[in-house]
Structure formats: C-alpha cells, structure tokens
Chain A
C-alpha cells in the first residue's frame, strides 16, 4: 500500500480540470516519470507556482468542488504520483478522476465544505501537513501550532482498491 500524508499543497478553487493538471501536449509521453516536470503547468491561481518549492514538497493536495473534471486522462493521477502526491482532499470530484486515483491505489477523499474551509485556513502555515489513515477513515491537519482531526468515508470498494494496490491486481485476482 502507498503511504498517505505529508506537506499540503492548497489549491483554493473549484473545477480544477485535467488540462490544468497536465496539458494534453504532454500526453505523448510513454512513461509516467516523463510527466514529472509538467505538474499543474497550466493552472493559474494567485500565488501558485507549479515549479515552486511548495509543489515539489507536497504529498497531499487540498482543493474545492469538482476536482479533476474534464478529460479521462489517467496522466493526471500519474503526474501527482511521480511527484510524490498520493492523496487529494476535496469537496467533490469528477467521476473519472476519482476512480483513476483509486484504480492506481491512491486516495481521493471528499470532505464537506465546512471541513475544507477549516483545512484551507492553514494555507499560509509554512509547516502545514496532513496525516491520513485510510483504514480508520480519519485525517489530521497540523500547522501553525494547531491540530485538528476529521473523519471521512470512502466506499468499501475504493478502500479495497487502495489496500490491494489498485484495480489491475484486484481484478486479476477476482475475475
């Protein structure tokens, strides 16, 4: 199983789409590693630098509603994976992106807006970090001398995919 948690990258906008996560012109790369430099290249957000140290250090992304909308490209979860980001926490996800995350053994976790608001309040904390316990369904946000825990639900199937390390292994064993 992959590990989940670490420094947080805050992307405070709804409807972040897969073209912003990884532009189509890079879909001609044949290996996942080759995608690495292009993470979030076309995302325009105040104060956000796709090549900045916060992006490089991040292990978790926190965002708003409908994260990952648009194309079916699994290059979006892959570009996160090769950059060490294995979990996205958001108010909601587009279906294909969400399933792609779990299919790769990564986590797409939904929290209510009020919880995301609380987590987003740590956006300016230099030490903002999250720990995630998939089995227990809890995550803890730390930063600026504060700490707060949240509980979440993922479907039993998605949890099984995370535990199995992804859908190919799971399906090969069961079908």
Chain B
C-alpha cells in the first residue's frame, strides 16, 4: 500500500512508539523565538538540564517584539540571546538580522523536503511547503525538543486537496486557502495533515505555497504539505548545489518524499480555482469568509501588509503593482512590514519601498508585532483593519479591534479606497 508524505516522514524518523498511535519522532530542525522559548529555557535551568541536543539543528530568532519595546520584552530577548551564545547556537538572528520566523528560516535554507520541524508557534505548518512535516507545538514539547531532539505525535490522518485550474486575475494563494478554510471550517482538519496537490499548486512559487501551508492551522491542521518538485529544488539550489551533481539529482532525491499515487486518504477534496474570487473574512473566525463582491465597501481604519502569511517579496510586488502612482485614502493609515531584512533590501532595490512610501505607508522593520496586537500597529477599540495576516480573532490586533483577512492585492486596493475593495479593477 502506498504512503502519504507524512507517513513516509513518520516512518523515516520513528524513534519509539510508546503506545499504539503515539509516535516519537527524531527532529531535523527545532525553531525558537523569544515568546515561547524563554520559559522552556528557564525550566531547563531549574531542572539542572540546561543543555541542547544539537546546536546545529536549533535555530533561533527574536521576531515577535523587536526591537524590544519595554523591559519585559527586552528580558525575553536577552534570555534567548544569552542561551544561544551559551550553547553555541550559530543560527541565531538578533536585531538587524532578524525577521518573521516562518519567512526567515526558509529563506536561510534551513527547511528541506522530508524534514521534521517543530517550533513553539502555531504557524510552523508553513514549512510543509517544502515537503516537510512541520508542526506548531507548545513550550513543553519545545523544551523536550531542545533537550532530546524528539517530539511525540499522534499519527495524523491526511486529507488530500486536489487544487486545479489557473488562478483568475486578482486571486492568489491567500484566496485559495481562505476559500478552503471557509469550506471545511476552523476544525475541519484537526489532527489531520493537509496535503496539497494539483496543477494550481504545481504552478505556484515557494512563496505562494508557504502562504497556503501557513494557514493550515486555521483549519486545525497539524501541517500543510506540498509535494517537492523542481520549484522546490530551484528555491533551495543555492544551499544544496554542493550536495548534488545536478538539479535533476536533487529532484530525484527529494521526490521520494512525494506521496505515492496509491496512498490512502481519509478524504479527498477537489478545488477548482477557476471560479474563485478575491476572498475576505468577516466576523472573528478564519472560516467566516465572503467573496469580495459580498463585502466590498466595508469602511476601514488601518491597512496592514506583512506577517508570516503575506510579508514576502512576491506579496510586496503584488501590492506595489496596485499602489504605484496612487495614494492611501485620507481616512486610513497603512503599515508595511517586510518579513525579513533580505526582503526589505530586495524591495528597496526594486523600488517597491518607494512606491509604498509615496502612497503614504509607514514602513516598519520586520516583526510579527501588529499581527497579534503586540506592537507596531495595534488597533484602538472599535477600529477596523484590512490585514494580510492569518487570524481575525476578537481582539487579535488590539482589544476591541476588528480584522478582515485578505490577500496583499485586496489590501492594496482597500488602502486606495479606504474601504474593502476589489483588486481586479487595479490589475
């Protein structure tokens, strides 16, 4: 019988099956940030176990509140920084080199097909875009991951999404995943892996695949997973060119992680993207979605473009294409946070930052900040934000604030009009 990608990765990393259905896996990458890691570090010290299983497999970044805004956040940053130095963790990204974890770590080539990846962050599912099994976990799982290099999982079932067709004008990976979440619900994939197949995914860039997998958790999914292909190899080539004789050889190696044609799925869902429209959330759950025609005209106070979902270069290019030569509506403010320093530099070089600033946007350093209401763009009570982020929970971007999730294109069009707007008229 054939196997899914997750089943192949589980089989290859199995350390122990202490009870039927519980699998302890060896980890290839343990990712850390300053919000969920310090308490793990503190606990390890308290237990007299301040060790790391392998400093080369641990990657750490200060990204949620950076540069630090007060004594508490500075203390969190310091705990992570001191720990990274103490244990010789070379891949530590401090102020100046830091960016949003789920954009930064892939950009550094840390994620490869077939990997097991954990992080104390729910959007770790992003990294499944590379054909990895990547799951968000809590601080205790992180602590054990740091100490022992293992993590326990229930063997997840897999839902296969066959996504086919050419994306219509103004429709992007963000619209596809919002549509999928709207279809299956916020717990439609709980304890499930979401495997993405089909011509639409094959045509997507790695950036788009990351956007897609990033929001698997919003349907409850353990990991999103895309099949590794030549697009994956091209993205990784600068990191792996010494390991393989040719791109074809790399592809042959990575392809073994692709799901078998006769793999068994719990469910197979067909998505025809040709009929999709720009999609936007309403309400306080990510499965509450409307097409643009049902929600356009909703007044806004703030536009936010950034985050691990949509703060990559491709996203900035799309938004800038719409904003070029245009201005923010006088009733709204716009905030752009390129997700990493490299993205910021590339966007500057391409003239995108000029376009945003001439449109009236404030450009901030790379940080998670506003997405979870911590810094750099928190909403006031009763304010409404058009956001390219991933969560519209009540109070998410600030107590009493309302968040509408959408693509960078829809956010850019909405910035111009000061209300939720259809990007297609600007493309």
Q: Taking beta carbons and an 8 Å cutoff, which residues of A are in contact with B?
A: 15, 17, 19-20, 23-25, 27-30, 32, 42, 44, 65-66, 69-74, 77, 92-96, 99-100, 103-104, 155-157, 160, 166-168, 171-172, 174-175
Most chain-A Cβ atoms within 10 A of its Cβ — which of B119, B154, B395?
Answer: B395
Q: Which residue of A lies closest to B374 (CB)?
A: A24
CB A59 to nearest CB in B, in angstroms, measures: 21
Please name all residues of chain B whose beta carbon is closer than 8 Å to the beta carbon of A99 when the two chains form the complex: 137-138, 141
- Given the known interface contacts A155-B154, A168-B47, A175-B150, the answer about A72 and B190 at a Cβ–Cβ threshold of 8 Å is no
CB A21 to nearest CB in B, in angstroms, measures: 11
Residue from B119, B141, B152, B393 within 8 A of A17 (CB atoms): B393
Q: Which residue of B lies closest to A169 (CB)?
A: B47
A34 CA to B103 CA in the complex, in Å?
31
- Taking A28-B35, A42-B394, A95-B191 as given, write out 9 further A-B residue pairs in contact, using a Cβ cutoff of 8 Å, ordered by the A residue number: A24-B373, A96-B122, A104-B140, A155-B21, A157-B18, A157-B19, A157-B22, A160-B18, A172-B148
B364 at the interface (CB under 8 A from A): no
**Among the listed stretches B70-78, B83-91, B170-178, B324-332, which one makes contact with chain A, having 4 or more residues with CB under 8 Å of it?**
B70-78
Q: Taking beta carbons and an 8 Å cutoff, which residues of B are in contact with A?
A: 15-16, 18-22, 24, 35-36, 38-39, 42-43, 47, 49, 64-65, 70, 72-73, 75-76, 79, 119-122, 124, 136-141, 143-144, 147-148, 150, 152, 154, 186-187, 190-191, 220, 222, 285, 372-374, 391, 393-396, 399
Please name all residues of chain A whose beta carbon is closer than 8 Å to the beta carbon of B35 when the two chains form the complex: 27-28, 73
B150 contacts A171, C-beta separation under 8 Å: yes
B144 contacts A168, C-beta separation under 8 Å: yes
Please name all residues of chain B whose beta carbon is closer than 8 Å to the beta carbon of A20 when the two chains form the complex: 393-395
Please name all residues of chain B whose beta carbon is closer than 8 Å to the beta carbon of A175 when the two chains form the complex: 15-16, 24, 148, 150
- Given the known interface contacts A19-B394, A28-B76, A69-B220, the answer about A100 and B19 at a Cβ–Cβ threshold of 8 Å is no
A15 CA to B124 CA in the complex, in Å?
21
B138 contacts A72, C-beta separation under 8 Å: yes
B190 contacts A92, C-beta separation under 8 Å: yes
Residue from B18, B72, B124, B394 within 8 A of A174 (CB atoms): B18
A174 CA to B399 CA in the complex, in Å?
44
Please name all residues of chain A whose beta carbon is closer than 8 Å to the beta carbon of B154 when the two chains form the complex: 95, 155
A66 contacts B152, C-beta separation under 8 Å: no
A39 CA to B283 CA in the complex, in Å?
23
B19 contacts A156, C-beta separation under 8 Å: yes
CB B399 to nearest CB in A, in angstroms, measures: 7
CB B344 to nearest CB in A, in angstroms, measures: 24
Please name all residues of chain A whose beta carbon is closer than 8 Å to the beta carbon of B18 when the two chains form the complex: 157, 160, 174
CB A50 to nearest CB in B, in angstroms, measures: 12
A30 CA to B39 CA in the complex, in Å?
6
Residue from B15, B72, B372 within 8 A of A29 (CB atoms): B72
Pairs A–B under 8 Å by Cβ, sample size 20: A19-B391, A20-B394, A25-B373, A27-B64, A42-B395, A42-B399, A44-B394, A69-B187, A74-B36, A94-B187, A95-B190, A99-B141, A103-B141, A104-B140, A155-B22, A156-B22, A167-B152, A168-B144, A172-B144, A175-B150
A156 contacts B20, C-beta separation under 8 Å: yes
CB B285 to nearest CB in A, in angstroms, measures: 6
Please name all residues of chain A whose beta carbon is closer than 8 Å to the beta carbon of B16 when the two chains form the complex: 174-175
- Given the known interface contacts A28-B65, A167-B140, the answer about A15 and B285 at a Cβ–Cβ threshold of 8 Å is yes
CB B66 to nearest CB in A, in angstroms, measures: 12
B187 contacts A65, C-beta separation under 8 Å: yes
A141 CA to B48 CA in the complex, in Å?
41
- Given the known interface contacts A69-B186, A95-B191, A171-B147, the answer about A23 and B120 at a Cβ–Cβ threshold of 8 Å is no
Please name all residues of chain B whose beta carbon is closer than 8 Å to the beta carbon of A94 when the two chains form the complex: 187, 190, 220
Please name all residues of chain A whose beta carbon is closer than 8 Å to the beta carbon of B75 when the two chains form the complex: 30
B152 contacts A72, C-beta separation under 8 Å: no
Q: Which residue of A lies closest to B398 (CB)?
A: A25
Residue from A19, A77, A95, A168 within 8 A of B143 (CB atoms): A168
CB B374 to nearest CB in A, in angstroms, measures: 6
Please name all residues of chain A whose beta carbon is closer than 8 Å to the beta carbon of B42 when the two chains form the complex: 30
Q: Which residue of B lies closest to A104 (CB)?
A: B140
Please name all residues of chain A whose beta carbon is closer than 8 Å to the beta carbon of B143 when the two chains form the complex: 168
A25 CA to B124 CA in the complex, in Å?
21
Q: Which residue of B lies closest to A91 (CB)?
A: B187
Q: Which residue of A lies closest to B73 (CB)?
A: A28
- Given the known interface contacts A19-B396, A167-B140, the answer about A25 and B374 at a Cβ–Cβ threshold of 8 Å is yes
Q: Which residue of B lies closest to A19 (CB)?
A: B393
Q: Which residue of B lies closest to A76 (CB)?
A: B138
A100 CA to B396 CA in the complex, in Å?
21
CB A140 to nearest CB in B, in angstroms, measures: 27
A133 CA to B65 CA in the complex, in Å?
42
Q: Which residue of A lies closest to B121 (CB)?
A: A72
Please name all residues of chain A whose beta carbon is closer than 8 Å to the beta carbon of B124 when the two chains form the complex: 72
Q: Which residue of A lies closest to B42 (CB)?
A: A30
A103 contacts B393, C-beta separation under 8 Å: no
